[in-house]
């Protein structure tokens, strides 16, 4: 019997979040990877990695940049991400932040995907705001600092774990 | 060449001004800078070449050509410098000065201060001294690089979750 590869949607905004997402790639080499971000030029980096590692080409989707104060752009982002998830039907969604990752995990969870949040290594003392908001919707919520993970127990029993660092 | 970057679209006047003053005092040093979307009231450099924004490709090229990087304490800037084996001087953006939403860059800088090749200027007045140290370090031989990917523990655990 031929089993289809699991599909993973990897989501992040640009800059440090993306740099960290790229450092996690080997963890899903066995999956069909699809990327969603806010910067067109990042597609080259994805292509290069796939070629160098003999992997299938990855679908690559874009959405707009939006901060938490830009309501219209956030709506546009929500719609873009919703359409990607409907089209891709991912088995897993992984994100390193920020807003697009939060939205993708919320929507993905509702549509049956398993969700993984990797909080940025920049958040040394407490989980990011997005991380705090998403933790109850993430099947796995990781901090890259053991002290933050152990200090983040909450009443629902959704513990934040420490599995290691991107660096 | 020294490459100075504010790491995002948001200007970081304390960094850009300190680097510009350094260039004024050290005319033998070539500095290229990315300064963010500068608006009215933002510092506009006089002594260095600069661009407001860079594409990821341009950014990588500047990092490649630089002997030392000067940056805000953002993870994108720090990771790209040390993976390319470039010493990096970081000046954290501060929450109380409204340079970021909170003081996370200050905490990041504290955590990364002890790493090889990372020089922290806690305030802008310390920047020239840290830049001198970084330049000196860059001449002292090659910096140990870091892996292109996350540590094995994290990758293994993630992978096993993604196989479950």
ipTM of this predicted structure: 0.95
Q: How far is A27 from chain B (nearest CA, A)?
A: 5
**A62 close contact with B: CB closer than 8 A:** no
Please report the pLDDT score of residue A154 as a whole number: 62
- The confidence score (pLDDT) of residue B144 equals 87
d(CA A42, CA B114): 31
pLDDT at A153 over 90: no
pLDDT tens string B79-101: 999 999 999 999 999 999 999 98
In a mutational test of the B interface, the residue from A14, A119, A124 whose CB has the highest number of chain B CBs within 10 Å is: A124
Cβ pair B161, A163 in contact under 8 A: no
HEC per residue, A91-159: CEEEEEECHHHHHHHHHHHHCCCEEEEECCCCCCCCCCHHHHHHHHHCCEEECCCHHHHHCCCCCCCCC
Would you call B150 and A15 a contact, using CB atoms and an 8 Å cutoff? Answer: no
Among the partner residues B77, B79, B152, nearest to A167 by beta-carbon distance: B79
Neighboring chain A residues of B157 at a CB cutoff of 8 Å = 163-164
Q: How far apart are CA B36 and CA B45, in angstroms?
A: 12
Residue B160 in contact with partner chain A when CB distance is under 8 A: no
In chain A, residues with a C-beta closer than 8 Å to the C-beta of B151 are 164-167
Q: Name the architecture of domain B2-162.
A: 3-Layer(aba) Sandwich (3.40)
Q: What are the residues facing A35 on neighbouring strands?
A: A10, A60
Query: A15 vs B7: CB contact, 8 Å cut-off?
Result: yes
pLDDT band for position B122 (50/70/90)?
A: very high
For residue range A95-122, what is the model confidence (pLDDT) as tens digits?
Answer: 999 999 999 999 999 999 999 999 999 9
pLDDT one-digit tens code per residue, B1-52: 999 999 988 999 999 999 999 999 999 999 999 999 999 999 999 999 999 9
What integer pLDDT is reported at residue A3 of this predicted model? 73
Q: A7-150: which CATH number, 3.40.50.2000, 3.40.190.10, 3.90.180.10, 3.10.20.30?
A: 3.40.50.2000
Residue of A nearest to B81 (CA): A19
Res. A157 pLDDT band, cuts 50 70 90: low
The predicted model gives A34-52 an average pLDDT of 97
Contact (CB, 8 A) for B130 and B69? no
Q: Is the pLDDT of residue B152 over 60?
A: yes
- Calculate mean pLDDT across residues A26-53: 97
């Amino acid at each position: 019997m031929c089993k289809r590869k699991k599909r993973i949607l990897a989501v992040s905004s640009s800059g440090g979040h993306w740099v960290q997402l790229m450092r996690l790639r080997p963890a899903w080499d066995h999956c069909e990877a699809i990327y969603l971000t806010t910067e067109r030029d990042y597609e080259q980096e994805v292509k290069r990695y796939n070629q160098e590692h003999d992997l299938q080409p990855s679908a690559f989707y874009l959405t707009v940049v939006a901060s938490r104060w830009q309501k219209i752009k956030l709506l546009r982002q929500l719609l873009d991400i919703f359409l990607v998830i409907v089209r891709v039907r991912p088995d897993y969604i992984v994100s390193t932040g920020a807003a697009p990752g939060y939205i993708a995990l919320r929507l993905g969870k509702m549509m049956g995907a398993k969700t993984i949040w990797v909080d940025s290594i920049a958040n040394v003392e407490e989980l990011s705001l997005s991380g705090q908001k998403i933790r109850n919707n993430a099947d796995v919520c990781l901090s890259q600092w053991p002290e933050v993970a152990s200090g983040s127990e909450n009443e629902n029993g959704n513990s934040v774990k420490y599995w290691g660092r991107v660096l | 060449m020294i490459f100075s970057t504010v790491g995002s679209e948001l200007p970081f006047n304390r960094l850009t001004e300190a680097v510009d003053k350094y260039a004024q005092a050290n005319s033998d040093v070539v500095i290229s800078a990315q300064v963010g979307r500068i608006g009215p009231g933002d510092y506009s450099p006089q002594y260095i070449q600069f661009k407001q924004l860079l594409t990821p490709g341009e950014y990588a090229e500047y990092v490649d050509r630089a002997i030392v990087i000067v940056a805000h304490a953002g993870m994108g800037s720090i990771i790209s410098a040390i993976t390319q084996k470039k010493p990096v001087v970081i000046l954290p953006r501060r929450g109380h000065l409204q340079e970021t939403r909170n003081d996370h860059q200050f905490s990041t800088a504290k955590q990364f201060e002890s790493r090889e090749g990372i020089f922290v200027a806690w305030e802008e007045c310390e920047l020239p001294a840290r830049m001198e140290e970084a330049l000196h370090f860059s001449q002292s031989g090659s910096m140990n690089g870091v892996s292109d990917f996350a540590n094995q523990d994290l990758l293994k655990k993630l992978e096993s979750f993604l196989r479950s």
